A and B are shown apart, each in its own frame.
Chain A
């Protein structure tokens, strides 16, 4: 006799959403798009159409399993495992679709991941993110997860698993430029951030010490922040161009109306507000009693600033730096418009040539960079908050 009726598992709301969206993507959206060449419109293919029937069946079964886990499994580790299985299956499916649809030796046809693939990727990615949030892993574990994910992806790319997909085709053509532009992208984002921190930190301390200046400084930086990126690049072109014409040394240093200089300057200006504002907020958050006690015990102003105030404000300041870094990685893309280089070069070239694959070659690494920066700095901030409450 059964003593207890097995309870029906509660249906997970997020799981229901993910499963519904995923199922819709598999059923009605094209998994890949086959194009005779890079600019011609393509022919959509569903998942079941492109793979051999046994492989397609396996894929669909695996995805159904993932959906079941999303719906009814409460254990976060199992959910994460299921999501990873889903990601691998989808990645493997799109890779073999590329291999199967491309005639041997043909370098003209393009097999592009379709909307169905992207929707599946987002849905399963959401499920994975949710599982990780539920697990509440320590910051170091999150960083390790990111590293592992990056390593697996890198390994797959290096082994040419995705070589027959359109984006990788574009990469193969642009490999040399890609490395250069990626370096330029990172350097523009980090360089402007570094310069901004050097200026913004003292500015924030000044705002904290002299409340009368706070309104003016933050107000001015706020105005800068409201100028659209393209407009700011444009505004900076004229004065920098004039400077280069008037001062030969400036021109020799690479300061010109177009190119990296206005891009760096604009990014630097955008970076100031978040760092200054967070420095002010971080310093304001420091317990007045601790500062009072520090003064009463005979610490000098500098000792109080470096030993108590800045240390206690650091997590908040780092949060500002995180905002800036993620924001800059995105904004650097626009720098390509004024000859500043970076991955935006591929985006704007792709738009110009209506070659969406080239756009993706610029966009996907940008998103990956921004995401990785966010995870790394979040982990750093949390580690600090944990150790010093």
Chain B
């Protein structure tokens, strides 16, 4: 767990980060969101001491980060940035091996890790290991950037607008990949973005910053239903907040079990249409599908196609209201 304790950064008379305190849970994704100049990047960079705080401290698993030299601290913390920062003169494999090499891993372990990461990020080691960054597409480079940050198996990964330079389709894929990676390695991720959609999509918890202050730090749904500050509701958006709220819950989570319908049987309303929705789909998309098909309800099926419950338009609408 990371404890950020009363952390401040001043440049001359300007206060960039103002007495921020927050606890970051292990094995979670925490997103720091804010407009440019809100101090979100500076806050992130104080965790691995790329920026030294003016006041306050950062504890990782109870240890003050200033206890060891900054470069040794950074080798234990993954770091990925916008525009990926790959070394243009080194191959993909050499790029990924950067931190393990600094840590003195032996060749066999290093090689195995590089191959594993390339495979995880859907880059065939035989094809990509020897290539140079400029030979890869933007999306591939970005994946290598994240793979490099994860190379030394860090428990903590810091990401500074990692998907900022990607086009929307590739960005959505990169976000899905990141969720997979987080589940697979159990890494604690702290990610900075100015994109509210990205924050809602990725964050278990979202921290909203403005003018160096931490305005609110909570689960995404709470940010929508109980904004602590007018700026928070302005940032999350008033016009589509119901839809945003729906997008945070999946059909599987909202399905009412027991009344599972066998497609074709007529006793349940809506099942006559034979409409079924995957459990992993968000309520926002489920509602859209129901409206499109003109149905009142649908059967929810899990990844194996087995029915796991029933979902009605009325139930979805009820979940889109603040409770």
**Chain A residues near B (Cβ < 8 Å):** 287, 289-300, 303, 308, 311-312, 387-389
Contact B71 A294 (CB under 8 A): no
Provide the residues of chain A in CB contact with B83, threshold 8 Å.
289
- Contacting B89 at CB < 8 Å: which of A289, A300, A311? A311
Contact A312 B89 (CB under 8 A): yes
Contact A294 B102 (CB under 8 A): no
Provide the residues of chain B in CB contact with A291, threshold 8 Å.
85
Provide the residues of chain A in CB contact with B132, threshold 8 Å.
388-389
1/0 contact string of B91-131 vs chain A (CB within 8 Å): 00000001100100000000000000000000000000000
Q: How many residues of B contact A (CB 8 A)?
A: 27
In this assembly, does B84 line the interface, its C-beta being within 8 Å of a C-beta of chain A? Answer: yes
- Contacting B74 at CB < 8 Å: which of A297, A308, A312, A388? A297
Contact B81 A297 (CB under 8 A): no
A287-B88, A297-B74, A308-B89 given; 5 more Cβ-contact pairs under 8 Å: A290-B86, A290-B87, A292-B50, A295-B74, A298-B75
Report the 5 A-B pairs with minimum CB-CB distance, sorted nearest first. Answer: A293-B85, A296-B79, A298-B74, A298-B75, A289-B85
Contact B87 A296 (CB under 8 A): no
A294 and B79 alpha carbons, distance in the complex (Å): 9
Contact B73 A298 (CB under 8 A): yes
Provide the residues of chain B in CB contact with A311, threshold 8 Å.
89
The distance from the CB of B290 to the nearest CB of chain A, in whole angstroms, is 45
The distance from the CB of A42 to the nearest CB of chain B, in whole angstroms, is 58
A308 and B86 alpha carbons, distance in the complex (Å): 11
Contact A290 B134 (CB under 8 A): no
Among B76, B85, B98, find the residue whose CB has the most chain A CB atoms closer than 10 A: B85
The distance from the CB of A330 to the nearest CB of chain B, in whole angstroms, is 33
Contact A296 B89 (CB under 8 A): no
Provide the residues of chain B in CB contact with A287, threshold 8 Å.
85, 88
Provide the residues of chain A in CB contact with B87, threshold 8 Å.
290, 293-294, 308
CB neighbors of A among B115-174 (8 A) = 132, 134, 145, 148-149, 158
Contact B81 A292 (CB under 8 A): yes
Contact B72 A298 (CB under 8 A): yes
A312 and B76 alpha carbons, distance in the complex (Å): 26
The distance from the CB of A297 to the nearest CB of chain B, in whole angstroms, is 5
Among A298, A312, A387, find the residue whose CB has the most chain B CB atoms closer than 10 A: A298
Contact A293 B88 (CB under 8 A): no
Residue of B nearest to A289 (CB): B85
Residue of B nearest to A389 (CB): B134
Among B48, B83, B87, find the residue whose CB has the most chain A CB atoms closer than 10 A: B87
A291 and B79 alpha carbons, distance in the complex (Å): 12
Contact B99 A290 (CB under 8 A): no
Provide the residues of chain B in CB contact with A389, threshold 8 Å.
88, 132, 134
CB neighbors of A among B60-79 (8 A) = 71-76, 79
Contact B84 A298 (CB under 8 A): no
Contact A388 B102 (CB under 8 A): no
Contact B102 A297 (CB under 8 A): yes
16 A–B contact pairs at CB < 8 A? Answer: A289-B81, A289-B82, A289-B85, A292-B81, A293-B79, A293-B81, A296-B79, A297-B75, A297-B79, A298-B74, A303-B102, A308-B89, A312-B88, A312-B89, A389-B88, A389-B132
A34 and B317 alpha carbons, distance in the complex (Å): 107
The distance from the CB of A266 to the nearest CB of chain B, in whole angstroms, is 36
Q: A308-B87, A312-B88 are in contact. Are A298 and B102 (CB under 8 A)?
A: yes
Q: A297-B79, A298-B102 are in contact. Are A290 and B71 (CB under 8 A)?
A: no
Residue of A nearest to B72 (CB): A298
User: What does DSSP make chain A's interface, helix, strand, loop or mixed?
Assistant: helix
The distance from the CB of A357 to the nearest CB of chain B, in whole angstroms, is 50
Provide the residues of chain A in CB contact with B88, threshold 8 Å.
287, 290, 312, 388-389
The distance from the CB of B322 to the nearest CB of chain A, in whole angstroms, is 40
Q: A293-B79, A295-B50, A389-B132 are in contact. Are A300 and B71 (CB under 8 A)?
A: yes
Provide the residues of chain B in CB contact with A303, threshold 8 Å.
102
Provide the residues of chain B in CB contact with A296, threshold 8 Å.
48, 50, 74, 79, 81, 85, 158
Provide the residues of chain B in CB contact with A298, threshold 8 Å.
71-76, 99, 102
Residue of A nearest to B165 (CB): A289
Provide the residues of chain B in CB contact with A289, threshold 8 Å.
81-85
A298 and B71 alpha carbons, distance in the complex (Å): 4
Provide the residues of chain B in CB contact with A293, threshold 8 Å.
79, 81, 84-87, 145, 148
A92 and B87 alpha carbons, distance in the complex (Å): 54
Provide the residues of chain A in CB contact with B79, threshold 8 Å.
293, 296-297
A297 and B102 alpha carbons, distance in the complex (Å): 9
Residue of B nearest to A300 (CB): B71
A387 and B145 alpha carbons, distance in the complex (Å): 21
The distance from the CB of B307 to the nearest CB of chain A, in whole angstroms, is 48
Provide the residues of chain A in CB contact with B71, threshold 8 Å.
298-300
A293 and B99 alpha carbons, distance in the complex (Å): 11
The distance from the CB of A312 to the nearest CB of chain B, in whole angstroms, is 6
Provide the residues of chain B in CB contact with A295, threshold 8 Å.
50, 74
Contact A297 B89 (CB under 8 A): no
Provide the residues of chain B in CB contact with A300, threshold 8 Å.
71
Residue of B nearest to A295 (CB): B50
The distance from the CB of B9 to the nearest CB of chain A, in whole angstroms, is 17
Provide the residues of chain A in CB contact with B148, threshold 8 Å.
293, 297
The distance from the CB of A323 to the nearest CB of chain B, in whole angstroms, is 23
Contact A290 B102 (CB under 8 A): no
Contact A388 B50 (CB under 8 A): no
A150 and B255 alpha carbons, distance in the complex (Å): 84
A291 and B132 alpha carbons, distance in the complex (Å): 17
A182 and B98 alpha carbons, distance in the complex (Å): 48
A389 and B50 alpha carbons, distance in the complex (Å): 28
A296 and B80 alpha carbons, distance in the complex (Å): 8
Provide the residues of chain B in CB contact with A388, threshold 8 Å.
88-89, 132
Residue of B nearest to A312 (CB): B89
A277 and B299 alpha carbons, distance in the complex (Å): 71
Among B48, B79, B99, B149, find the residue whose CB has the most chain A CB atoms closer than 10 A: B79
Provide the residues of chain B in CB contact with A294, threshold 8 Å.
85, 87, 98
Q: A293-B86, A388-B88 are in contact. Are A299 and B81 (CB under 8 A)?
A: no
Residue of A nearest to B71 (CB): A298
Provide the residues of chain B in CB contact with A312, threshold 8 Å.
88-89
A299 and B73 alpha carbons, distance in the complex (Å): 11
A101 and B132 alpha carbons, distance in the complex (Å): 63
The distance from the CB of A387 to the nearest CB of chain B, in whole angstroms, is 8
